[in-house]
Structure 1
Amino acid sequence: MTHSSSSSTPRFRLAFLLNPYAGLGGPEGLKGSDDISDDLRARNSRSMARAKRALAPLLTQQDRLSLLAAPGVMGADLLQDMGFADVTVVGTLSGESYTSAEDSERLAHELAESGIDLLLFVGGDGTARNMVNGLSSEHREQVCLGIPAGVKMHSAVFAINPESAAEVLQLLLKNGLVDLREQEVRDIDESLFRQGQVRSKYYGELWVPEVGHFVQQTKNSGREVEELVLADIAADIVERLDDERYYLIGPGSTPKAILDELQLEGTLLGFDVLHQGELLATDVNASYLEAFLEQHTDQCTAIITAIGGQGHLLGRGNQQLSPNVLRMLGQDNLWVVATKTKIKELEQRPLLVDSNDAELDRALSGHVPVTTGYRDTIYYPISCGL
């Protein structure tokens, strides 16, 4: 880290870089945000809103900060709108209609060149890849932290949620003891992802400040799950299905086993609507679910699972369950399924929720039944990471 030679405590040099389009594809069920439409790009609010949640607690600690930011919509505009008084703008945008991955890579490099303690970036796995590419070997030891705002976040360089990022930042400002670890950046091929194929690839590592439970684990991909365990879970759920209800079958191999048990062809990576043993719709998005729930109030149950390794139950890969959808469903209408192996691998860490609504996340925290086999259920905690 870079420090002043002054005898007084130096200001913490925090650089801020925002991908304004991160996560826009998630609620639409697009599996990523690389190829989103111009109309979606015009709604660049998700990543900005999440950035504000992480940065707001720092407004009262500006005397401890030296803020640097990428220009315009990639950082400086948001900081100035929030009321940060002294922001040094680094670099320029390419001048195109929309910002690009090349902008992120170039600006990450220029911010690191400015001599910073931490590069705080907002985005998903694609943005994390941009950080790796931009920092390259010349700045490979630059400390970074991601505010999660993308559709898919398999990399272990993100805080659990925006508030957790704020906790890490505040501890750094207080000169607290914070570990540094090299963590993997991974991403998947979005074109193959849309076809139902998960191909995760390692792109490098970033140095990340790590404080207890505030930074997420790497997504555990490619691990085999015993077919018999999945079949047992599926058999239990199928026995409990009520012909009067509609079921929203979420992404992942464990919910997919339920459709396999019913000999139905659904989607591995999205939400399907099940009723009376038949699929009414497949791979639906948040807008569809909101409209459907308005017509079928108190008649729907969502069946979801956690991501292996990191334990996220909501907010990673199932963003079709938007805050509005979750409120319409109600917590009692969320069925959680997971193998005991997946739960044990959390090493007593809770399941995590990051719905993009901090108040809702707090309301969802507590304990929840988890179906782990045939007539086998455990009671397990859920946390918003605070």
Structure 2
Amino acid sequence: MGRIGVVVNPIAGMGGRVGLKGTDGKVDEARERGAEPRAPSRARAALDRIHERAPETEILTYAAPMGEAVAREAGFEPRVVGEPAGEETAASDTRAAVETFLDEGVDLVLFVGGDGTAVDVAETIREGDADVPMLGVPAGVKVYSSVFGVTPRAAGDIAATFEDTERAEVNDIDEDEYRDGEVHTELRAVVRVPAAEQRQASKQLGGGTVESLAEGVAREVRDGVTYVLGPGSTVGAVKERLGFEGSPLGVDVWRDGEVLVADASEREILDHLGEENVIVVSPIGGQGFVFGRGNQQLSPAVIEQCDLEVVASKSKLDELGTLRVDTGDPDLDEELTGWLQVRVGRYERRLMQVI
């Protein structure tokens, strides 16, 4: 893997089992209720897995209890690059650790905590003007962000083996409101994370909807790029977000704010393609076909000249399980099989297998 900076928030999650719904400002009360630290054991599970998969990984960390102890227990000889400022660790210690990791040129910041810790890490990376990916080992009460592995062991697998990165959301909630029974999430940052199926989906309220994914496509359109927009209600929401009423069952071609051709045939699409082209399409509900059902205008000749943006609601993907293609060209079908990132929100994507 290379070099990983590991920072543990040792108090993360202590308030959960004792009914405090979080630990922010409640550490003493959590201890009075008999709370035990949860983060070290979860950090150890992730580091054990990294040691199994990639024992040569160089681990940088802060002095115990912010990572050194569990790293040694997992079999590493970590390089300790700093220590907490006081007896009790604080968010400032997390931020200082991440700053040091960035200075040391780590390949990944692996943090152990919840959404509050995720915000500290994300904001420090952003302030450092860095593009270093981050990944969370879930240990907090609040885990609403899509930057965490689904389990500590999964986080270790991802950290040891990832090759590509993608963008994901860091969300947080107000713990006082949460304790009163109200959950209001707030998008706090968009960061680079390892691309992996074992990362949890974002729990941002109102996110992952057709409207939010349409907004995501619209906000990323580029000047001079030709967009070939397929049929269906999901892509229809994208067309509406771009400012026009599209052909519900047809393919529309759009560039720089103008509909070049509506309800286009294959020939018309080919005639209007430019130097850079993007197909936006949604799989057929109940069947999972990305190409070859209801959008035959998107022929192999068209597909081969375009990048691909597949969009779908989370509920549709949950029902489908896998995706399919039937372009009429076996070689192209083979090329399209494998794992594909499907946009399900403004920034969030889900890995789906094309079979």
TM-score range, shorter chain: 0.5 to 0.7
* 2:82 counterpart (85, 88, 91): 91
Q: Which residue of 1 aligns with 2:191?
A: 206
Cα offsets for 1:185-234 (capped at 9, x unmatched)? 110011111122222111112210012x2011111414799xxxxxxxxx
Larger-gyration structure (1/2): 2
Cα root mean square deviation, aligned: 2.6
Q: Which residue of 2 aligns with 1:191?
A: 176
* 1:216 counterpart (194, 200, 205): 200
Following the alignment from structure 1 to structure 2, what is the Cα–Cα distance between the partners of residues 135 and 67? 18
Aligned partner of residue 68 in structure 1, secondary structure: strand
Asked whether the 8 Å contact 2:115–2:140 carries over to 1, the reply is: yes
The one-letter code sitting in structure 1 at the alignment partner of 2:156 is A
Displacement after TM superposition at 1:342 (Å): 7.5
The one-letter code sitting in structure 2 at the alignment partner of 1:185 is V
Aligned partner of residue 94 in structure 1, secondary structure: coil
Q: Which residue of 2 aligns with 1:379?
A: none
The one-letter code sitting in structure 1 at the alignment partner of 2:185 is S
Asked whether the 8 Å contact 1:122–1:147 carries over to 2, the reply is: yes
Matched length = 217
Displacement after TM superposition at 1:345 (Å): 5.9
Q: Which residue of 2 aligns with 1:22?
A: 12
* 1:68 counterpart (49, 52, 60): 60
Assess, with a 3 A threshold, how the Cα gap between structure 1 residues 207 and 159 changes in structure 2: closer, same or farther.
Answer: same
The one-letter code sitting in structure 1 at the alignment partner of 2:13 is G
Which structure 2 segments of 5+ residues have no match? 210-312, 323-355
Cα offsets for 1:148-197 (capped at 9, x unmatched)? 1111111110011112112212324xxxxx33111111100111111222
Q: Which residue of 1 aligns with 2:275?
A: none
Asked whether the 8 Å contact 1:107–1:134 carries over to 2, the reply is: no
TM-score w.r.t. the length of structure 1 is: 0.52
Following the alignment from structure 1 to structure 2, what is the Cα–Cα distance between the partners of residues 27 and 217? 23
Q: Which residue of 1 aligns with 2:38?
A: 46
Displacement after TM superposition at 1:133 (Å): 2.2
Following the alignment from structure 2 to structure 1, what is the Cα–Cα distance between the partners of residues 114 and 8? 11
Following the alignment from structure 2 to structure 1, what is the Cα–Cα distance between the partners of residues 47 and 125? 23
Displacement after TM superposition at 1:112 (Å): 1.4
Asked whether the 8 Å contact 2:20–2:30 carries over to 1, the reply is: no
Cα offsets for 1:18-74 (capped at 9, x unmatched)? 011111111222221112242635855311111111111333466521110122201
Q: Percent identity of the aligned residues?
A: 34
Q: Which residue of 2 aligns with 1:179?
A: 164
Aligned partner of residue 140 in structure 1, secondary structure: coil
Q: Which residue of 2 aligns with 1:121?
A: 111
Following the alignment from structure 1 to structure 2, what is the Cα–Cα distance between the partners of residues 152 and 348? 29
Following the alignment from structure 2 to structure 1, what is the Cα–Cα distance between the partners of residues 137 and 207? 26
Asked whether the 8 Å contact 1:20–1:44 carries over to 2, the reply is: no
Asked whether the 8 Å contact 2:168–2:193 carries over to 1, the reply is: yes
Following the alignment from structure 2 to structure 1, what is the Cα–Cα distance between the partners of residues 70 and 37? 11
Following the alignment from structure 2 to structure 1, what is the Cα–Cα distance between the partners of residues 208 and 112? 32
Displacement after TM superposition at 1:81 (Å): 3.0
Q: Write out aligned runs for 1:319-338 (5 A).
A: none
Aligned partner of residue 74 in structure 1, secondary structure: coil
Following the alignment from structure 1 to structure 2, what is the Cα–Cα distance between the partners of residues 347 and 204? 30
Following the alignment from structure 2 to structure 1, what is the Cα–Cα distance between the partners of residues 130 and 99? 10
Asked whether the 8 Å contact 2:11–2:27 carries over to 1, the reply is: no
Following the alignment from structure 1 to structure 2, what is the Cα–Cα distance between the partners of residues 218 and 145? 13
Assess, with a 3 A threshold, how the Cα gap between structure 1 residues 43 and 194 changes in structure 2: closer, same or farther.
Answer: closer
Q: Which residue of 2 aligns with 1:262?
A: none
Asked whether the 8 Å contact 2:15–2:27 carries over to 1, the reply is: no
Following the alignment from structure 1 to structure 2, what is the Cα–Cα distance between the partners of residues 87 and 34? 29
Displacement after TM superposition at 1:122 (Å): 0.5
Determine whether 1:32 maps to 2:22.
Answer: yes
